[in-house]
């Protein structure tokens, strides 16, 4: 429902020289386009053609007058040069990474062979190998080496108790976020949706990160309280960590490393870490306030055994439902000047240009009213297609309510893990049930359509349907990773496990050093997917390697 935008004026042909009038233009290839040709006199419509153009293709729209008396015009689309296959760089990159994976697997299998392992150890550390060979005690076993070192014994105990699947899930979400933030090879499906629509797997990584943060809250608070920490002390840690996340977020989203002092007049207040910090504060405080002794162990009696991991926490659910009612009332009932009540559109040229200054409806209005236009994001994704001019922040105030709901669903996943400890079938079946429930709610809210539902899926707004849809997939993904990593132990979680153990450092590091070598360099062809993909994958891989090296040295940045 976009207004037609002027593309080009085609001059009249030169009849004496038999030279047609021509105009050359560049068009977008992400979506199918409708080309409308009008006459310059009387604005008469000659023809309308809908076509999905391909990348770097060369096309001609040939317009001929068939009859001057009836003013009949023919319009034919001719492909002068076919579009390129822009997916070949992705295929090549996939094969390269699969080759590296195959080499690592083969190397791991060879290291299980004693002669090969001994030869490698001798080459890497000949003095230590000789010392072990000449030792009267012979080769120490794992138990002896661990028991002789209290630090290693402590690490071994904690690592066994820690669920690797959760760190793997967090690391996977984080690395995808890094890749997308670096550009995603300039492929449109690695970018955020301009407005409505379910994001593809990579751009939805932030929602999964929020989800697993909620899961971690449940496990970490349970552990701290079990080890004797008072609620007051835990609350102090929650407040301090939230403050640090918000402070770091404001610093990271306002970089002025080479541009001189930052003006307070243009300081952006919302951001990813800010939203994470506030969400963490609300969800962790909610869990701490209403946690009940015996609920996790299943000793509390509940009238409905099927809901025994939900009913003990009914005050939390009441609080979340109140938040959702607030979101619905503000979104659909708040009067916004110059906009229809309950407007959820992008503004600009969307909706036939009727509401150009209504980007985000109530969500955008609240941010502009409370924070000021200069203190929110100035270049929203809606500006590319819908040509919006109003600033809009996808990490704004109103959407934070549904981010809290997303983290709370992750918190519920953590409670399931605690309640059904070591009962793998029960844990996975509960995850699947939650996924189905969230999927059904999404289908009802959206009517299984992109634009025609009651509440469309929208990442910019963090609509309730976006949360239910993303949590549906999050429950499925955490079930799969939990099964592979912690139940069957078919996968160690590598390489995603390592950035998952150092998530704050990797996220802040990738933001701070985004424009520095070797994470970025000047490209020969800025229009090349291959060059962009090479640069973005290299930068992302470097952060995986950095997190692995930090893990090996037991260096973890916790706040």
In a domain, 95, yes or no: yes
Query: What digits encode the pLDDT tens for the residues 479-507?
Result: 999 999 999 999 999 899 999 999 999 99
User: Residue written as tokens 């659910």?
Assistant: 317
My answer on whether 59 and 97 are in the same domain is: no
In a domain, 520, yes or no: no
Q: Are 169 and 478 a contacting pair, CB within 8 Å?
A: yes
In a domain, 135, yes or no: no
My answer on whether 44 and 100 are in the same domain is: no
My answer on whether 214 and 95 are in the same domain is: no
Q: How much is the pLDDT for 127? A: 55
Residue 335 has pLDDT above 90, yes or no: yes
Mean pLDDT over 281-310 rounds to 76
Q: Number of structural domains, the chain? A: 3
Mean pLDDT over 404-418 rounds to 95
The whole-angstrom separation of Cα 431 and Cα 428 is 5
Query: What digits encode the pLDDT tens for the residues 43-88?
Result: 788 888 999 999 999 999 998 888 777 678 888 999 999 999 999 9
CA dihedral 97, 100, 106, 111 (to 10 degrees): -130
The winner for highest mean pLDDT among 109-113, 232-236, 261-265, 302-306 is: 232-236
My answer on whether 104 and 19 are in the same domain is: no
My answer on whether 336 and 473 are in the same domain is: yes
Q: How much is the pLDDT for 73? A: 83
Q: How much is the pLDDT for 195? A: 87
My answer on whether 461 and 351 are in the same domain is: yes
Q: How much is the pLDDT for 63? A: 87
In a domain, 511, yes or no: no
H helical segments located in 63-149 = 88-111, 114-124, 126-134, 142-147
Mean pLDDT over 322-342 rounds to 95
Q: How much is the pLDDT for 146? A: 37
Q: How much is the pLDDT for 458? A: 92
Which of 263-277, 288-302, 415-429 bottoms out in mean pLDDT, i.e. has the lowest?
Answer: 288-302
Higher pLDDT, 16 or 227: 227
My answer on whether 382 and 471 are in the same domain is: yes
In a domain, 532, yes or no: no
Mean pLDDT over 181-204 rounds to 81
Higher pLDDT, 115 or 413: 413
H helical segments located in 371-495 = 382-385, 397-419, 424-446, 464-482
Query: 154 pLDDT band (50/70/90 cuts)?
Result: very low
My answer on whether 206 and 280 are in the same domain is: yes
Question: Within 13 A of 159's CA, how many CA atoms are on the CB side?
Answer: 12
> Which of 95, 115, 135 is the endpoint of a domain?
115
My answer on whether 68 and 103 are in the same domain is: no
Question: 31, 52, 192, 510: which one is catalytic?
Answer: 192
In a domain, 134, yes or no: no
My answer on whether 98 and 227 are in the same domain is: no
Residue 300 has pLDDT above 90, yes or no: no
My answer on whether 452 and 479 are in the same domain is: yes
Residue 410 has pLDDT above 70, yes or no: yes
The whole-angstrom separation of Cα 281 and Cα 278 is 5
> Which of 473, 489, 505 is the endpoint of a domain?
489
> Which of 489, 505, 525 is the endpoint of a domain?
489
CA distances from 122 to 105, 126, 146 (A): 21, 4, 22
Query: What is the DSSP-derived secondary structure letter of residue 33?
Result: E
The whole-angstrom separation of Cα 182 and Cα 279 is 25
In a domain, 33, yes or no: yes
Counting residues of the chain whose pLDDT is more than 90, the rounded percentage is 58
Query: What digits encode the pLDDT tens for the residues 280-290?
Result: 999 999 999 98
In a domain, 165, yes or no: no
User: Could you list the residue range(s) of the whole structural domain that residue 26 is in?
Assistant: 1-84
My answer on whether 388 and 440 are in the same domain is: yes
Encoding tokens for residue 374? 């200069």
Active site residue 529: no
């Amino acid at each position: 429902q976009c207004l037609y935008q002027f593309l080009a004026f085609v001059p009249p042909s030169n009849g004496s020289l038999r030279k047609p009038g021509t105009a050359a233009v560049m068009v977008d290839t992400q979506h199918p386009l409708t080309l409308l040709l009008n006459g310059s006199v009387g604005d008469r419509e000659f023809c309308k053609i809908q076509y999905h153009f391909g990348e770097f293709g060369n096309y001609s729209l040939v317009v001929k007058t068939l009859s001057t008396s009836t003013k009949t015009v023919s319009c034919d689309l001719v492909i002068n040069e076919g579009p390129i296959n822009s997916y070949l760089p992705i295929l090549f990159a996939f094969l390269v990474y699969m080759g590296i994976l195959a080499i690592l697997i083969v190397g791991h299998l060879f290291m299980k062979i004693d002669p090969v392992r001994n030869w490698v150890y001798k080459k890497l550390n000949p003095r230590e190998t000789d010392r072990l060979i000449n030792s009267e005690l012979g080769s120490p076993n794992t138990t002896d080496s661990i028991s002789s070192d209290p630090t290693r014994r402590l690490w071994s105990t904690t690592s066994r108790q820690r669920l690797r699947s959760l760190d793997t899930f967090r690391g996977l979400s984080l690395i995808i976020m890094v890749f997308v933030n670096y550009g995603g090879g300039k492929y449109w499906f690695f970018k955020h949706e301009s407005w409505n629509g379910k994001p593809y797997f990579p751009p939805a990584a932030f929602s999964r990160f929020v989800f697993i943060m909620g899961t971690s809250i449940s496990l970490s608070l349970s552990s701290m309280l079990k080890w004797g920490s008072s609620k007051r002390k835990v609350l102090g840690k929650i407040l301090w960590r939230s403050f640090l996340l918000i402070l770091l977020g404001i610093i990271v989203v306002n970089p002025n490393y080479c541009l001189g002092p930052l003006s307070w007049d243009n300081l952006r207040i919302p951001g990813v870490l800010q939203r994470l910090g506030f969400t963490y504060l609300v969800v962790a405080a909610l869990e701490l306030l209403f946690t009940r002794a015996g609920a996790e162990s299943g000793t509390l009696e509940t009238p409905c055994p099927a809901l025994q991991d939900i009913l003990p926490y009914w005050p939390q659910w009441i609080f979340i439902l109140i938040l959702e009612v607030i979101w619905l009332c503000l979104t659909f009932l708040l009067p916004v000047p110059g906009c229809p009540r309950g407007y959820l559109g992008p503004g600009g040229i969307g909706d036939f240009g009727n509401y150009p200054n209504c980007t985000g409806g109530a969500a955008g209005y609240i941010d502009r009213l409370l924070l000021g236009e200069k203190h929110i994001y100035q270049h929203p994704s809606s500006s590319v297609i819908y040509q919006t001019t109003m600033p809009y922040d996808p990490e704004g105030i109103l959407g934070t309510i549904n981010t809290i709901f997303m983290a709370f669903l992750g918190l519920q996943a953590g409670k399931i893990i605690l309640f059904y400890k070591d009962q793998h079938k029960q844990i996975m079946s509960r995850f699947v049930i939650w996924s189905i429930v969230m999927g059904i709610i999404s289908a009802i809210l959206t009517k299984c359509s992109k634009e025609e539902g009651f509440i469309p899926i929208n990442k910019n707004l963090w609509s309730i349907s976006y949360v239910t849809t993303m949590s549906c997939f999050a429950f499925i993904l955490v079930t799969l990773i939990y099964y592979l990593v912690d139940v069957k132990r078919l996968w160690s979680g590598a390489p995603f496990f390592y950035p998952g153990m150092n998530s704050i450092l990797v996220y802040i590091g990738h933001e701070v050093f985004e424009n520095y070598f070797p994470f970025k360099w000047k490209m020969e062809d800025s229009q090349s997917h291959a060059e962009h993909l090479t640069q973005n994958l290299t930068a992302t891989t470097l952060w995986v390697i950095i997190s692995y090296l930090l893990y090996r040295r037991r260096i973890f940045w916790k706040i």
